[in-house]
Structure 1
Amino acid sequence: MATWDLQTTEHHVLICNGGSCNQFGAEELTQAIRSEISRRELDGTIHTTRTRCNGRCHDKCVVIDYPKGIWYKDLKPEDAHLFVDSLHANENFSTKISHSFNGEVFERSTGVVKGVAKDSEKVSKASK
């Protein structure tokens, strides 16, 4: 198993491959983003990790850019080149932002579903 040298990494891209995202093309999106990174020889600055569910199933397919703390929604394989463009230019892919970290809290973009509070979910599950 490989151990990557992350010293030159500028973006750690977390790509949701949970159930809902997988039903809407997460694997194809993962491969498209990775291919675009490789094609541009950006492997040293952009590292990707396939994750399980990130809890924003309504926003499928979800991709998160750290350390910026930007959550993207509705990404499709055909968005990969524009997404990687934005990372390489150190800009945000603004039309697909779900949430962004302002240094203190995550701010939800206009029109994005709020979702349920985590403690509400625990109460709901406990009452079943």
Structure 2
Amino acid sequence: MATWNFDQLKHHILICNGSTCMRNGAEEVTQSIRGEISRKKLDNMIHTSRTRCNGRCQDKCVIVQYPEGIWYKQFQPNDSSAFVDALYEGVSFDQKVSHYYKDSKFQRTNNTKKGVFKK
């Protein structure tokens, strides 16, 4: 198993590979994002990790961008190029579902289901 050098890392992308997202294209999203990162030679700047369910199944496919804590919904493989470009350029990407702030509050975009509390 490799041990990556993260000295130049700026973004960590968590890609939901839970069952609902997988049935709705998560593998293609994962490969597309990773392909764009590789093609643009940004492997040292952007790291990806597959996750299991992130609990936002109705928003499939879900990705989360850290350290900003931005969640994206309805991500499609053809969004990958613009998304990776936005990360590199430090600009916003349109499909933000919510943003986690340091005061532990989420700010949701319009038409985003609030969801249920975990018990």
Alignment partner of 1:103 is 2:102 = yes
Question: After TM superposition, which residue ranges in structure 1, 4 or more long, deviate above 4 angstroms?
Answer: none
Matching residue's letter, 2:109: S
Q: Which has the higher helix share?
A: 1
Match of 1:125 in 2: none
Alignment partner of 1:117 is 2:117 = yes
Match of 2:53 in 1: 53
Match of 2:92 in 1: 92
In structure 2, list runs of 5 or more residues that go unmatched.
none
Cα deviation for residue 108 of structure 1 reads 1.0
Cα deviation for residue 103 of structure 1 reads 2.8
TM-score, length of structure 1 as denominator length:
0.89
Matching residue's letter, 1:19: S
Alignment partner of 1:36 is 2:31 = no
Match of 1:14 in 2: 14
Matching residue's letter, 2:99: S
Alignment partner of 1:69 is 2:79 = no
Cα deviation for residue 102 of structure 1 reads 3.0
Cα deviation for residue 89 of structure 1 reads 1.1
Matching residue's letter, 1:84: V
Q: Partners in 1 of 2:91 and 2:21 — Cα distance?
A: 24
In structure 1, list runs of 5 or more residues that go unmatched.
123-128
> Identity of counterpart residues, as a percentage?
53
